[in-house]
Amino acid sequence: MNKAVRDFINKGEIMKKFKVGDKVYCPTLGRGVYKVMKYLRGGTEFPLCVYKGGREFSFTHEGFYYSTDKVSTIHHATEENHAALEQLYGVEFEKPPAKPEPIKIIQAMILRGDKYVPCYVGDDEVLLYEDFELDFLFGIDQYDSHPFCGHRGSWKYALPVELRTGKVITTLPDDVC
């Protein structure tokens, strides 16, 4: 097995789950970034697919084209996978989509109807990553010098977090993608 393939597998990419709305690479289809869709004819074994023109490829939640494959056929569109695929195939792939700014994520969550968006907040961007204070945002006031307003004040910087895990949310909600 090629060292680049072995390294790619060892990074655990094949163990990651895929869901509708994910942005992925599918080298079988081309060098672009594709959006994972629900495959209506795939049943429970192959519930996902990607399309390019008239071609469609269905997959398992683990990204396998055949359930007996050892390596997934699709890969999440990340900077790390972008570099690994370019090294593996020796060609240029489309760059992965940029991650949305925290303010875009917060706005999307409020627009979809979330009453509160839990966020790590602060007035210094650097300190925000080192010394977290968990607070809740009531909304965004675009006209204030501190755009993030909550029940305990206002702040210059806010990072939305998943309340159950405490992990920073870095993608737009699925229902607004």
Res 113: pLDDT: 82
pLDDT, greater one: 27 or 7? 27
pLDDT at 142 over 50: no
Task: Look up the pTM and report it.
Answer: 0.64
DSSP string of 76-96? E--HHHHHHHHHHHSS--PPP
Q: Taking the CB of residue 52, how many other CB atoms lie within 10 A of it?
A: 13
The backbone torsions φ and ψ at residue 27, rounded to the nearest 5 degrees and listed phi first, read -55, -25
pLDDT at 166 over 80: no
Q: Of the segments 8-12, 84-88, 113-117, which one has the largest average pLDDT value?
A: 84-88
Contacts (Cβ under 8 Å, ≥6 apart) of 131: 122
Res 96: pLDDT: 95
Stretch 113-123: mean pLDDT, rounded?
79
Q: How confident is the model at residue 151 (pLDDT cuts 50, 70, 90)?
A: low
pLDDT, greater one: 150 or 84? 84
Q: Which two three-digit tokens encode residue 77?
A: 């569109």
Quote the CA–CA distance of 176 and 171 in Å, as a whole number: 10
> Sheet containing 153-155: which strands, arranged edge to edge?
153-155, 148-150, 134-140, 117-122, 157-160
Quote the CA–CA distance of 32 and 138 in Å, as a whole number: 38
State the Cα angle at 92 between 7 and 87, rounded to 5°: 20
Stretch 109-138: mean pLDDT, rounded?
68
User: What is the chain's mean pLDDT, rounded?
Assistant: 78
pLDDT, greater one: 7 or 78? 78
Quote the CA–CA distance of 124 and 113 in Å, as a whole number: 28
Q: Which two three-digit tokens encode residue 126?
A: 């650097």
Stretch 67-95: mean pLDDT, rounded?
90
Res 14: pLDDT: 45
State the Cα angle at 46 between 40 and 49, rounded to 5°: 65
Res 144: pLDDT: 45
Quote the CA–CA distance of 107 and 123 in Å, as a whole number: 19
Res 8: pLDDT: 56
